[in-house]
Amino acid sequence: MQWKRITAVAATVMLAAVACGSPSSNSGSNNTGGGNVGGAQEKATDATAKGPAKPIEGAKSGGTITVLSDVTPDTFDPTDIYYVDGNQIGKLMYRALTQYKLDEKTGKPVLVPDLAEDLGTPSEDGLTWTFKLKQGIKYMDGTPVKAADYAYSIKRSFAHDLFSSGPTYQLQFFKDGGKYKGPYTQGGENYAGVETPDESTLIIHLDKKFNDLPYYAAFPMFTPIPQAKDTKKNYEQKPMATGPYQVESYTAGSQLKLTKNPNWDPNTDPVRYQYPDKFDFKFAQDTIKVQRQVLASAGPDASALNYSNLDVSLYPELKDPSQLVKGPGPCTITWPMDTRKIPIEVRKLIVKSFPFDSWRKVSGQAPDSSFPASTILPPAVPGYEKYELPGMNGLGKGAEDPAVAAEVKAELEKLGKSGFELSWYFSNDDPIATQVNQLRTQVYEKAGFKVKATGVPKAKIRTLTGDQNAPVNMGKTPAGWCSDWPSGTSWFPVLFKSDAIELGNSIGQLQDKALDAEIDRVADLDPNAQLKEWSKIDKKIMQDHLPLVPLYYSASAFPVGKNIGHAVNDMTQGMPEFTSLYLKQP
Amino acid sequence: MSIGSPDSTVGIEDHPASAEPERAKGVAHGKSPTRIAMDRLRKDKVAIVCATIVVLFILVAVFAPLLVKLEGADIGTFNPDLVDAYGFPVNGPTPAHWFGVEPKTGRDNFARWVYGARPSLIIAFIATVSGTVIGVVMGLLAGFLGGWVDRIISWVIDFVLSLPYLLFAIAMVPIVEQLRGGSFNLTPAEQAQIRFFVLIFVLSFFGWAGLARIIRGEVLSLREREFVLAAKAIGVPTRQVLFKELLPNLVAPIVISASLALPAYVTAEAGLSFLGVGLIEPVPSWGQTIATATNWFKADPIYLWLPVLGITILVLALALLGDAVRDAFDPKTRR
């Protein structure tokens, strides 16, 4: 279920076990069904959106919504949040400069201003961005939000030693990003990258052009934090809320209770609602147990939901289909191949031999929550264009078919690579990972490969596979990727450029100067012009470089209790949209 | 101490050698306690039924490859065609798969059940035998030699009994893997094998202490008995006294403890595997299957029931047999 917790870049290590497949992460149903893979996000923005958000029909106020979660978000510090669940829960408490509003009908996200009046205005050279700030915003204790607080939270995000899980684009793109170490160091209060000439203006200076800054500004990292209230690592215990809810109590690792924020003004907020009185998040629960509870909806469980995908084994217990909320997710899951260690001809044979059909079943992929993948970009990201290279559509028997096995064997011999050794790690205390490993081993040995699979404890596998120079040639992490925002710029430059190896994000460890240059060229284009180009690069990488076996696109299919109203999937995160939930009978 | 107490003159003339009480006619003369126990067991219907069941299980385990061949499947083959896209088995039992197939992987249930009997029985028997041998030897030595030997052994027994066995079982695996060259140099099959031996070791290591304590107590009371004193007096070597004079008198407690340990170890193996610290794939084991099958019990009940019934019947049979053995050896039971 790791991918549930990730958005991307710095947190790559966490992506690790993804491809080994955990059953609970990959199940569900798609409303469109079949080969049609959900609706794609379009890079749509609406700079004029105003609060209040249009009331939801039939919504009632009051009551407590309980979220029974098997996964535990690592942090709720706005600067440190990077995983999708932290992001989504954070949306209840923290308002940032911008935010995604889900289209009423299609569910597609539209980027709208949140605490900013607009979506930012870039200067001519694209290196200076100006955001106009809304006035009259208050924290939950009634104190007004100042422009300096926005500047401070940006400064705070540079203290990456302290907030090591947080997103890192500011280090790459903002002025002096590599040098500035945050407000806690000596002289740290002075940072040239951010300016607040008056109470309604925030100016951000960049080192490099960063067209996606308005998208980045939707991260909770950009919520205002008053310097006087900053308690560093303890800030998450009593954070200054600007959203409709505030922290009542937080016990790290087990429970987060939220209660209404009386100083939240719906007239300034185009996205959020405030229907339930309270939210009660309970973490580290047993997946199957809580999902069963939610499905049964007995007593208080009717007002509960779980945000992991429904375990396939529980499908027979799903009596009311409306209790399963479905929708596309922002991730593609792959099985990376180290291009430095495996020649391209052999990589093609590896893909050819891969037993997609069996793998999907053994690893517990439900057909309608995990769509067979043929591209790098998932359909939820603009720039996705469907194409299928021969034999690479995420389906097929691979070398389980004796004819294919014989063919691959012969071709390996022809290449002089008979008995080519494939090596990977798997966690030997996870029954599904061990079964997947047996399947792969059997199939690849049949196809004439030699397999060296190393079983390691689950607790260690992330560290091992996260090492880009690990002594294995398959399955290094990131094994999958989820977009930080709906654009190819959060995919290709991060994953496939040569410097990604050093940053620990490389899928396939590609080192190709020409490809680097091509990616850089496209990243500098106008956002709308990029769309077509990314899909070309997508295809080019798969055709000429083939650094991965494409497995599936993620999708959500999580169970909700019978009393929960307006449960929708937020496709930017693959999570429930918490801020618009209500209770049918509070 | 003298041989025979002063007032035991009655009957000595009739039976000068054994001083046995007079018997009713028809009762065989001079039967050993073991013979008597076996006779009693043979008349005990429950014991016979249970013994048959246990033997059946042993036969199943021994002939597992043959049985599986008869069915035409094997334990490792994935049959994804036999499960639907959600992982649910498409059909129930078929001629090709007598008990259906596993969800998700489509591996044959019957084959995995039959092979699953092996680790349970092998581990339980080896652990019982080694635990019993060690326990008996330690108990004999401690009880008979006394002095510092007794003090050391008793201390070791107390020490072992005070160790937390679950923690020990979990901690042993990485240690042994390290000794075998680290997990990086081991194939999955080797890792599974290590778990297997670690389990045997842990179970016998924690099993001997209790028995040793019982044996020690028995020996303490026996070693002052006349026949032991006599043997010592005429210069019989210690080893012979221990194994020829004392051991035959300890058969009852040993057999009882062993017969009670067997079912306990079967459950312990399944329990540890269920918890994920026992056997791991690719070794098939009932405990593991139960752990996975609990999630599927509504969709594929047979998948869960097979190992559950296997363990229940085996443990019940072993336990009842153990009871019968205990009763048979106990001179106080009259039936």
Q: Which of A367, A431, A454 sits opposite B183 (nearest CB)?
A: A454
Mutate to test the interface with A, among B82, B101, B105, B194 (most CBs of A within 10 A): B105
The domain tally of chain B equals 1
Using alpha carbons only, give the angle A50, A51, A56 rounded to the nearest 5 degrees.
120
What would the pLDDT profile of A523-535 be if each residue is shown by its tens digit?
Answer: 888 777 787 888 8
| Residues of chain B above pLDDT 90, percent | 20
- pTM exceeds cut of 0.80: no
3-state secondary structure of A259: strand
> Does some domain include residue B282?
yes
Asked if the model's pLDDT at residue A396 lies above 70, the reply is yes
> Does some domain include residue B322?
yes
> Does some domain include residue B11?
no
Residue A33 φ/ψ region, left for φ over 0, alpha for ψ in the -120 to 50 degree band, beta for the rest: left
| Residues of chain B contacting A315 with CB distance shorter than 8 Å | 86, 88, 299
DSSP per-residue codes, B61-117: HHTHHHHHHHHT--SS---GGGB-TTS-BSSSS-SSSTT-B-TTT--BHHHHHHHHH
> Does some domain include residue B3?
no
Q: Which of B104, B280, B288 sits opposite A362 (nearest CB)?
A: B104
Q: Answer yes or no: are the C-beta atoms of A71 and A287 closer than 8 Å.
A: no
Instruction: State both tokens at A481.
Output: 């990727």
3-state secondary structure of A376: coil
Sheet with A245-251: list strands edge to edge.
A245-251, A255-260, A278-282, A64-68, A304-305
> Does some domain include residue B72?
yes
Q: Is A362 on the interface with B (CB under 8 A)?
A: yes
What is the count of residue pairs from A and B with beta carbons less than 8 Å apart?
88
Q: pLDDT confidence of B183, banded at 50, 70, 90?
A: low
Res A502: pLDDT: 81
> How far apart are the C-alpha atoms of A102 and A110, rounded to whole Å?
6
Peptide bond preceding B282 in cis form (omega within 30 of 0): yes
Asked if the model's pLDDT at residue A3 lies above 90, the reply is no
Res B10: pLDDT: 45
| Residues of chain A contacting B88 with CB distance shorter than 8 Å | 315-316
What would the pLDDT profile of A155-168 be if each residue is shown by its tens digit?
Answer: 999 998 888 888 88
Peptide bond preceding A478 in cis form (omega within 30 of 0): yes
Structural domain harbouring B86: 33-329
Task: Give the DSSP letter of residue B33.
Answer: H
Q: What is the CATH number of the domain that holds B129?
A: 1.10.3720.10
For the beta carbon of residue A220, count every other beta carbon within 10 angstroms: 27
| Residues of chain B contacting A438 with CB distance shorter than 8 Å | 76, 78, 188, 281-282
Those residues with Cβ within 8 angstroms of residue B300's Cβ, 6 or more apart along the chain or in another chain: B88, B89, B100, B102, B103, B293
Contact A456 B183 (CB under 8 A): yes
Asked if the model's pLDDT at residue B6 lies above 60, the reply is no
Q: pLDDT confidence of B195, banded at 50, 70, 90?
A: confident
Strand partners for A560: A305
Report the amino acid identity of residue B285.
S
Instruction: State both tokens at B260.
Output: 């009670």
State the nearest Cα–Cα gap between B292 and chain A, in angstroms.
Answer: 8
> Does some domain include residue B1?
no
Residues 311-350 of chain A whose Cβ lies under 8 A from any Cβ of chain B = 311-317
> How far apart are the C-alpha atoms of A131 and B293, rounded to whole Å?
56
Res B256: pLDDT: 84
Res A488: pLDDT: 83
> What is the average pLDDT across A88-98?
94
3-state secondary structure of B241: helix
What would the pLDDT profile of A186-205 be if each residue is shown by its tens digit?
Answer: 888 889 899 999 999 999 99
What would the pLDDT profile of B65-95 be if each residue is shown by its tens digit?
Answer: 998 888 888 888 888 888 888 888 888 788 8
Task: Determine the residue of chain B that is closest to A357 in CA distance.
Answer: B80
Reported as type and span, the H/E element at residue A203 is strand A201-205
Contact B105 A435 (CB under 8 A): yes
> Does some domain include residue B73?
yes
Asked if the model's pLDDT at residue A564 lies above 80, the reply is yes
Q: pLDDT confidence of B151, banded at 50, 70, 90?
A: very high
> Does some domain include residue B25?
no
| Domains, chain A, with CATH or none | 76-283 (3.40.190.10), 331-554 (3.10.105.10)
Q: Answer yes or no: are the C-beta atoms of B144 and B231 closer than 8 Å.
A: no
Task: Give the DSSP letter of residue A247.
Answer: E
Which residue shows structure tokens 């496939």?
Answer: A496
Res B120: pLDDT: 87
Asked if the model's pLDDT at residue B314 lies above 80, the reply is yes
Q: Which of A27, A432, A455 sits opposite B188 (nearest CB)?
A: A455
> Over chain A, what is the mean pLDDT?
85
Task: Determine the residue of chain B that is closest to A451 in CA distance.
Answer: B187
| Residues of chain B contacting A308 with CB distance shorter than 8 Å | none
Those residues with Cβ within 8 angstroms of residue B52's Cβ, 6 or more apart along the chain or in another chain: none
Report the amino acid identity of residue A544.
D
Report the amino acid identity of residue A345.
E
Instruction: State both tokens at B46.
Output: 């429950």
| Residues of chain A above pLDDT 70, percent | 92
Output Rg (C-alpha) for chain A, integer angstroms. Answer: 24
